[in-house]
Structure 1
Amino acid sequence: MKIGILQTGHTPEELVEEFGEYSNLFQALFAGHDFEFVTFNVVDGVFPEGIQDAQGWLITGSKHGAYEDHAWIPLLEDFIRACVSENVPLVGVCFGHQIIAQALGGKVEKYEGGWAVGRQTYDFAGTEIALNAWHQDQVTELPPGAVTLASNDFCAHAAVLYGDRALTVQAHPEFDGLFLDGLINTRGRGLVPDTLLDAAEDTLAEPIANQTIADQFADFFRQERHQ
């Protein structure tokens, strides 16, 4: 199965040599699922010719806000709506989670409660799952028909399902402790309160459920769909 990665941000330059781009993190996350990948840097205005260029699409995280005024954001929203209309499966992570909600009629805002950084635990229908997060923006209102799959006290809509059309998560299942440590020390200091960054550093070695989410994403991509 061919998965198109719509890259909406770039790894900090200081981390590229060790970790690669965000698209590389997702390819590593899906190792063993026998997917083929193609990447489009939509953040730089590079888009696929159409939704038919892949059998499923994944939208990455970004330093940008879904509500910001960039020429590529309305184009990406149009692409999202085309996928939903034609029943081509979409997965969104962090910014991807937010832009899908916004494109379909939901609301994204800079959250008044501040940042979530590092290991967070979420209630997935009674099952506690821990994932690394890095966000200040949140989905504050769901689009019509969307269903919340996971939440915690800080993030009401931490995972969202749009029937068989889209599946999104606010956290970063592609981030392991090593990458998060690099992010803290390249983008975090001076932007995120030190108390949050210090707390995140204290949990870098604790277990996270990245593979659980990767398997859920893979199953979602592969599930049978009818127009």
Structure 2
Amino acid sequence: MRPPLRLAILECDSPPPNADAKYGGYGGVFTTLLRYGAELLGKPDLEAMLQISKYQIQLDPDNYPKLEDVDAILLTGSRYNSFEDAPWIKKLVDFTAEILKQDRIRLIGVCFGHQIIGRAMGVKVGRNEAGWEAAVDDFDLSERGKQLFGKEKLSIHQMHRDIIYYYPDGVEQLGSSPVCAVQGMYKKGHLITVQGHPEFNEEIMTELLRVRHTMGIFNDDEFDKYMDKAGKPHDGVVVARAFLEFLLDD
């Protein structure tokens, strides 16, 4: 596709308070990530590649872009469950299904967004019996994953206990972990997704872990285990570069 591309970021949640104040929502978090990805790609002028717009759809479910005004859509993560039938989630699934029916607009999905794309493609999403993945973990890449990310394994922040149960027809597998078989999906010129959070850094992950520990979502042992991994090196910027290459690929 010829740049600058019109990328709409659909914010499916708000970051924890400190990150929200620093970045201005998940749209700001992803814009920062994509800027680093552009530098890694050797094209540091992000605005020459992308015209980014942001839509907070969880708080304002009528706040969607017009399809004729965008070339690509990124669905962010969320604390909410991709398998639930809250009106705003059902609307997002229906909107995503409409995107999947056409050939022009490209889709990027991250965590909750990855699961929403799977649900819109008709596969089961739900709780993972194996439990949580959180903080930085490695996962094995498929041959296509190795090609797209340029690595043998990928280290990425995780924060999920929901999964896509199996791969939809018509997509290529990107990778798997012992806890989650569907770590990413790809269809050239159409979609790319990851179950992890390339946009997270140690600061955001630490704040999320503290919030969820206070809420009782993680017990003391789990909190300590995940905090120990929150500062590990990760490949978020590598994933951002792959997202940009996907968007720019003819």
Query: Normalization by structure 1: what TM-score?
Result: 0.92
Letter in 2 for 1:51: L
Cα distance per residue 1:139-194 (max 9 Å; x no partner): 11222222221111111010111342111000000001111011111234410233
Q: Aligned pair in 2 of structure 1 residues 19, 197: CA closer, same or farther (>3 Å)?
A: farther
Query: Does the CA-based 8 Å contact 2:82-2:112 persist in structure 1?
Result: yes
Out of 103, 113, 116, which is 2:130 matched to?
A: 113
Question: Aligned pairs, how many?
Answer: 224
What is the rounded CA distance, in whole Å, between the counterparts of 1:187 and 1:10 in structure 2? 14
| Equivalences for residues 45-194 of structure 1 within 5 A | 45-87=61-103, 88-125=105-142, 127-189=152-214, 190-194=216-220
What is the rounded CA distance, in whole Å, between the counterparts of 1:188 and 1:174 in structure 2? 21
Letter in 1 for 2:86: H
What is the rounded CA distance, in whole Å, between the counterparts of 2:162 and 2:131 in structure 1? 8
Query: Does the CA-based 8 Å contact 1:14-1:186 persist in structure 2?
Result: no
The answer for unaligned runs of 5 or more in structure 2 is 36-43, 147-151
SS in 2 for 1:173: coil
Query: Does the CA-based 8 Å contact 1:77-1:99 persist in structure 2?
Result: yes
What is the rounded CA distance, in whole Å, between the counterparts of 2:138 and 2:219 in structure 1? 20
Per the TM alignment, residue 14 of structure 1 is displaced from its structure 2 partner at its CA by 4.5
Within the alignment, does 1:214 sit opposite 2:229 as a pair? no
Letter in 2 for 1:195: D
Question: How big is the alpha-carbon RMSD for the aligned residues of Structure 1 and Structure 2?
Answer: 1.6
Q: Aligned pair in 2 of structure 1 residues 49, 180: CA closer, same or farther (>3 Å)?
A: closer
What is the rounded CA distance, in whole Å, between the counterparts of 1:7 and 1:130 in structure 2? 24
Letter in 1 for 2:240: A
Within the alignment, does 1:24 sit opposite 2:39 as a pair? no
**Sequence identity percentage:** 28
Q: 152-161 or 18-27, which moves further after superposition? A: 18-27
Query: Does the CA-based 8 Å contact 1:51-1:82 persist in structure 2?
Result: no
What is the rounded CA distance, in whole Å, between the counterparts of 2:89 and 2:231 in structure 1? 35
The answer for unaligned runs of 5 or more in structure 1 is none
Partner of 2:58: 43
SS in 2 for 1:129: strand
Moved over 6 A (4+): none
Per the TM alignment, residue 66 of structure 1 is displaced from its structure 2 partner at its CA by 1.1
What is the rounded CA distance, in whole Å, between the counterparts of 2:237 and 2:23 in structure 1? 18
Query: Does the CA-based 8 Å contact 1:117-1:196 persist in structure 2?
Result: no
Q: 201-210 or 9-18, which moves further after superposition? A: 9-18
Query: Does the CA-based 8 Å contact 1:132-1:172 persist in structure 2?
Result: yes
Per the TM alignment, residue 108 of structure 1 is displaced from its structure 2 partner at its CA by 0.5
Query: Normalization by structure 2: what TM-score?
Result: 0.84
Q: Aligned pair in 2 of structure 1 residues 49, 24: CA closer, same or farther (>3 Å)?
A: closer
SS in 2 for 1:43: coil
Partner of 2:225: 199
Letter in 2 for 1:57: I
SS in 2 for 1:4: strand
